[in-house]
Chain A
């Protein structure tokens, strides 16, 4: 479980995050949604320590991340897996080497054990035959799957996904979404997904947090989302005619 307590972040004279508090549950997919520029990615970067917060605290299962020194943060990061928007795979390494990299860096596994574990993770994300390819030889969807395989290689407790569906076709998006959900349940992880893809939200989210103008504007689940009358949230969620129809059809069923 991750607890965010009143975090704020300012860039120059622009307030990006203002008093954001959230409770991100274990074994659930916690989705943070919001318009582009709302502060979602900054929030994620503050959570994982890529950016320092100006105020507030982040707690990982009772451990105050904000108060930790460099070595403590380094140790905690070994429990963290992250899926970046572009995959962030290392260009100079093959798919298998990418997945095995954290194992080589932080475990005493032999080369055979590392290869076995990397191939297990690649198989888990349905990429069993691509281990000798380089990142520039695989598609965007495959890159995302390799990044997920790398993120789960160390059996993390926390998984962070920054726009996992950006640049993917709808079919591949569903594959990635389902993979994130399955892995969250399988490893009982605290998963945080940043997204503005409403299909993903309706498919895999357990908890939804809506960020608007740097503030946590609303929180709830999928059912709450369909019933909400929060104007800013409705403007964002039901901007497309498809979502409007989806809402009216689900209301008429009720």
Chain B
């Protein structure tokens, strides 16, 4: 328990140091654009493939389960849309990004720590937390919601493509289904979750990497810890946000 509180305290102290005015705005924006590319642009392919297949699979599974004649034939479209918007895009994609982006952040910072690059920054008079971590957190919070939007679109597109290759759902009914009873609030809900999850995954991974002690072995351990702790906290916040936002 003391250990958890110590880490929690150190994590919030790190955040306090991160959210200070950058030394030079020009360097900060340069780093922010680099991080947006690393976190966002480099994840587009992975998010696209996963979302297309997830949408297709949801549709096929829905069609398999909705064989009851009392269930309307457009229900598969509704199920695919709502599943993608409410849970798969914001939560599952965020969890997948924890594996890709979170481990990369932790290992990058961990390597910088064990090779004394962070000490070198500190000796120069640079605030290393602000210089290295703030751009990662802000880039994540800004760019991950766009990835989630892309995922929603491609998931629904994946469902549509699945209707072309399976005969269980007609394309016409699917298109009707994805428009039926659409709640724009679901987008706000998903993007709110995306922002919170992006903050959690970038900040926890940064903390794990930044506090690495030792050598190469510890860098690997930090990377694993970053994925494990970010996943647990995201799942916990998923429950809290769902309860708070869907009344």
Contact = CB atoms under 8 A, between A and B. Distances in A.
Interface of A: 48-50, 73-78, 80, 82, 84-86, 88-91, 101-102, 104-106, 160
Nearest to B124: A102
Given A105-B23, A105-B27, A77 B116 contact: no
A88 B116 contact: yes
A88 B115 contact: yes
18 contacts: A74-B125, A76-B125, A80-B123, A82-B120, A84-B116, A91-B112, A91-B115, A101-B124, A102-B124, A104-B24, A104-B27, A105-B23, A105-B24, A105-B27, A106-B23, A106-B124, A106-B125, A160-B123
B24 A86 contact: no
B123 A82 contact: yes
B116 A78 contact: no
Closest 4 CB pairs of A and B: A77-B125, A88-B120, A88-B116, A74-B125
Given A77-B125, A105-B126, A88 B27 contact: no
B197 to A, nearest CB: 26
A160 B124 CA distance: 12
Interface string B124-136: 1111000000000
Contact of A85 (B116, B125, B126, B127): B116
A78 B125 contact: yes
A90 B112 CA distance: 8
Counting chain B residues whose Cβ lies within 8 A of the other chain, the interface size class is 10 to 19
Contacts of B61: none
A173 B116 CA distance: 21
A78 B124 contact: yes
B120 A84 contact: yes
Contacts of B124: 77-78, 101-102, 105-106
A102 B124 CA distance: 7
Contacts of A48: 123
A86 B125 contact: no
A91 B132 CA distance: 14
B122 interface: yes
B37 interface: no
Contacts of A89: 117
A79 to B, nearest CB: 9
B159 to A, nearest CB: 40
A160 to B, nearest CB: 8
A91 B117 contact: yes
Given A88-B115, A104-B24, A105-B23, A75 B120 contact: no
B119 interface: yes
Contacts of B120: 82, 84, 88, 90
Contacts of B125: 73-78, 106
Contacts of B117: 88-91
Contacts of A101: 124
B27 A86 contact: no
